[in-house]
Structures are given as C-alpha cells and as structure tokens.
Chain A
Amino acid sequence: MADFLQFLFSGITVGATYALVGLGFAIIYNASHVINFAQGEFVMLGGMSAVFLMHLGLPLPAVIPLAVVATMAVGVALEKLAIEPARNASVVTLIIITIGASIFLRGSAEVIWGRSFHSMAPFTGSEPIDIGGAALLPQSLWVLGGTIVAVVALKWFFGRTRTGKAMQASAFNPYAARLVGIDQRFILMLSFALSGLFGAVAGILIAPISLTYSGVGVMLGLKGFCAAILGGMGNPFGAIMGGLLLGISEAMTAGYISSAYKDAVAFLIILLVLFFLPSGLFGKRRTERV
C-alpha cells in the first residue's frame, strides 16, 4: 500500500507537469489549429531561466514572475515571427516550423546556459512528509497546488472574462467570431502567451524535483502532446485529465513492471487510443463535411 501511494504521488506530480504542457498544446490548437511542437521548450525555458535568475541572487518571489514573463515573451515572439507569417500554410509546413522553433530554442539555450544539468532548491524545504508510509515531497504539493491554481484561473478566464469568452468563441467558430469583431490576431498572440505561461509554470515547479537542462523540453513536450491528444485535442480540461492519467500510468509501470519502459508507456497508450478511439478519451466525434 505504501508502495502504491508512493507511485501515485510521483505519478500525480509528473502527471501535473504533463497536464500543464498539454494545456498549452490545447490552447494554441484551439486558437489556430497549430500544433506547437516548441511547447516543451517553454517548460525548459521556464526552468532554466528560473535557475539562472536564482544564481543571480534574486529571491524566489521575484524569480517566478520574471521567468514566467520571459517565457511568455518568447511565446509571443514565436507567434509573431514564425507562425503569423505562415498562417495559411499546410499542416505539415506548420509542424516543421514549430519543430524548427523547438530546435532553435534548445540550441539557443545550449549556447546561453551550456549543456550541463542544473538543480534548483525546493520552494519550502526538502523534508518529506510521511503519508501512510509513503514519502511526499513538499515540492510535489507545490506542483499540485500550482496546477490546480492554473486550471481554476483558466476556467475563470474562459468563463468569466470578455477576452476568455472571445477565445472560446473563436475556437468554436473562427469565422463567426471574426464577424462579431473578435480580433483573431490578438487571440492567436494571447494563446501563445498563455501556453508560454503554463509551460513556464510547469518548468519552474518541477525544476526542484527533476534536474533541468537544455534538452529537458523534448520528452516533456512530446508527453504533453500525448496528454493533449488523449484528452481529445482542443479540449483543455481533457488535456489535464490526459496528463494525470499518463503520469500515473508511467509511475505505476515504473514501479510494478519495469522502469526501463517507463518512457514508452505514454506512447503505447497514445497509439492504442489513436487506433481504437481516434478522437481521444474526451473528444467529440466528428463527421467530415464534404
């Protein structure tokens, strides 16, 4: 039982990160039908810039907003410089552009910060809390809490604010949204800023638990993509469920079966889902219009 709890804790912690990354995929997809393969790099940028700012001696309450804003700025720059000029390009072209952006960001991070691994001090102590014989790191609570806050805030934003509603409307029907005067370009830019935000938050929260380095975004990005697809692409709250599900399955596989194939679990699940439930677990079934 203690084992199970232990695996569950680590699964939820990692799953929350996947969820935040998946959320970023879903938000951009909704606004533009672009899959942003650079999403994982937002996580890397958030974590790395936080580590870097800490080294400069800034206090944590200053580090977090600075790292988040920096990542959001990169997100907006990516949208303005690379996505907008190629708005009407095909799916394959857009995939290549965002993959190029991902490689570029990773390469730039290597140039700026080198290739070594960095650790970051936990926000509040490293003394594990004992729950039913399983050790829970305080930082895991931060990850979980941060994810919950992010999701609640997003829900409020979509449901209660004018801009959030406009974003939902354009996801549902871009043409009609344009007719009623919603600025598509602003929505698009906002979506990149938001997913930069969620990516950075994930990167900062997880950095004290797993080391951070310039290549950390690759796997996180791909698994976040898995989470988004699992949740039914374009369904932000499905992406959260998908992320948690993946994190927990991974931790259970690593604990009970083999840690060697931990990384394969997410992809195996996603293949099975794609083969048998092509619109994801929480996605709407669609009929193609001809």
Chain B
Amino acid sequence: MTLLQVDDMSKAFGANQVIEGLSFGVSPGAIHSIIGPNGAGKTTLFNLITGIYRADRGRVLFDGRDVTALQPHELAKCGISRTFQNLQVFLNMSALENVMAGMHLHSDHRFWPSLFHLPMITRRDRELAEEARRLMAFVNLEDYLDAHASAMPYGALKRLEIARALATKSKLMLLDEPAAGLNPSETRAIDGLIQKIAESGVTVILVEHDMRLVMGVSDHILVLEGGRKLAEGTAGEIRHNPDVVAAYLGESARKQ
C-alpha cells in the first residue's frame, strides 16, 4: 500500500527538461528523503505534487485517488501539506495567527457568521488558538506565543512554517530544506522534530542538503539527477550505491 504514487511524470520549462519520466511510491508512516545535486528537480517535484505547477505528463495518486489536476488548496484538503525552501511565512500576522491560518480547513470560515462574530465562530476560534499554542509548543516555539512573525529570527520562522503545516492535520508533509541556513545545533533540533512528526503518524517527504540529517532520519531515500531517478533505497543502500557515490555523494561519503 502506497500513500503517494507518482507515475511517469515529466515537466519542462521551455527547453529545460526539469523532470523526466519520474516514477516512485511513498509508503505511509515513514520518513522519505529526496536528494540530488542542485537543479536535479527536487523543488520542482514538490511544486508538481502540491499543484503549484502542472505536469506535462504523468499522474499523481494520493491515498488511491488521482489528484494530478487538483489545485493547491484542494490538495491541502486531501491531506498534503508542505513548507517552502524560501520561507513563505505570513509576515503580516502574529506567530499564533500563522498557525491558526494553517487550521483554515478545520475552522468555520463562512462569511456571514464571521461578519457578525456569532458565538460559534468565537468559540471555535478559541479552541483553534488553544490548539495552535499546543502546536507551537510541539515545535519548541513557546517563547514566541505572543510574537509577531516579522519580529522572529530565521530559525524560529523555519519552525513556525512546520507548525503551520502541522496545523493542517495532513497525512503527508513535504519539507523543503527545513535545515537550510540553520546552525548545527538548530539543525539537530530540526532532526528531532522531523522524527517527532513522523512518530505522530504523519508521513514525511524531506528535501535536504544536509547529508548527515538525511542519512540519520530517513527510512527511505530517492536520489534524483537531471530530473530522473538515479537510485532509491535505505540510507545504507544509497551510501554504497556506486552510481550515487560517483554522481553526488562522493565527497561526503568518503569523509564519513
């Protein structure tokens, strides 16, 4: 049983073939990593899965359902959440409101009741705020409960995005370089957080350049090169795969 199945997917921007005939499956309840050199198509793949780009060919099945042509917000409704490589925090809102915005699907967002602030709206909002505080604690942002997003440091914003993604209560979470720009101790904290998320029953797909992080947390690794699948397997298999070593891992594998 696979949670996410990508079949024969291709995407080109002009003459630049970014993804080519890519197929892979993601089984539920594990941490999957996608690695590959810059320009291998990792972020494009995320954008294709989450509906920001439309694939030229191929299809995506999620939970047994064809979700290829769905809009990003429809995919969120199906249970796919994500974070972004270049932060996409709502800097015009407080930290707590960022997380509450992530709960949009679970909030009562009908226009008329909201306009008149009917008791059911305020009651539900109080519950959501409570839950948002819990989620912020879950990602270790207790210190920022009252902060405005625009006043938070980079590392905290990275975790705020994860909290917002968690708030959607998705089955699958796509993390696009969650450790990029973080110092070693912050990276270790993210490492623990990713494992905590997976333990809570959310399947994680991780794109990350920090190889120590990837090798440490991943149950399964997919290696992309030039938009194609170069190899896949467990961390150990990838580490010893001669193609991968030749193409990409060379440096860091030898070091370890």
Binding site for B on A (CB under 8 A): 287-288, 290
Contacts and interface: CB of A to CB of B under 8 A. Distances in A.
A279 B184 CA distance: 44
B46 to A, nearest CB: 9
Contacts of B53: 287
B143 to A, nearest CB: 29
A287 B11 CA distance: 12
A50 B86 CA distance: 52
Nearest to A285: B14
Interface residues of B, number: 8
Per DSSP, are chain A's interface residues mostly helix, strand or loop, or mixed? loop
B47 interface: yes
Contacts of B43: 290
B13 interface: yes
A287 B13 contact: yes
A288 B52 CA distance: 9
B11 to A, nearest CB: 10
Interface in B78-132: 84, 86, 88
9 contacts: A287-B13, A287-B53, A288-B52, A290-B43, A290-B47, A290-B52, A290-B84, A290-B86, A290-B88
A133 to B, nearest CB: 50
Contacts of B84: 290
A290 B83 CA distance: 11
B76 to A, nearest CB: 15
Nearest to B52: A290
Interface string B11-54: 00100000000000000000000000000000100010000110
Interface of B: 13, 43, 47, 52-53, 84, 86, 88
A290 to B, nearest CB: 6
Contacts of B86: 290
B161 to A, nearest CB: 13
Q: Which 6 A-B pairs have the closest CB atoms?
A: A290-B52, A290-B47, A287-B13, A290-B84, A287-B53, A290-B43
Contacts of B88: 290
A84 to B, nearest CB: 24
B220 to A, nearest CB: 25
A94 B235 CA distance: 51
A216 B245 CA distance: 69
A237 B252 CA distance: 51
B97 to A, nearest CB: 20
A161 B53 CA distance: 40
A287 B18 CA distance: 13
Contacts of B13: 287
A287 B84 CA distance: 17
B51 to A, nearest CB: 11
A148 B53 CA distance: 42
A134 to B, nearest CB: 46
A161 to B, nearest CB: 30
Contacts of A288: 52
B148 to A, nearest CB: 18
A87 to B, nearest CB: 19
A103 B133 CA distance: 48
A192 to B, nearest CB: 31
Nearest to B86: A290
Contacts of A290: 43, 47, 52, 84, 86, 88
A287 B52 CA distance: 10
A290 B50 CA distance: 12
A276 to B, nearest CB: 19
A288 B84 CA distance: 14
Contacts of A287: 13, 53
A287 B44 CA distance: 12
Contacts of B47: 290
A287 B43 CA distance: 14
A92 to B, nearest CB: 13
A286 to B, nearest CB: 10
Contacts of B52: 288, 290
Given A290-B47, A290-B84, 7 more contacts: A287-B13, A287-B53, A288-B52, A290-B43, A290-B52, A290-B86, A290-B88
Nearest to B53: A287
A287 B13 CA distance: 8
Nearest to A287: B13
A160 to B, nearest CB: 29
A251 B49 CA distance: 50
B145 to A, nearest CB: 28
A287 to B, nearest CB: 6
Nearest to B85: A290
B19 to A, nearest CB: 14
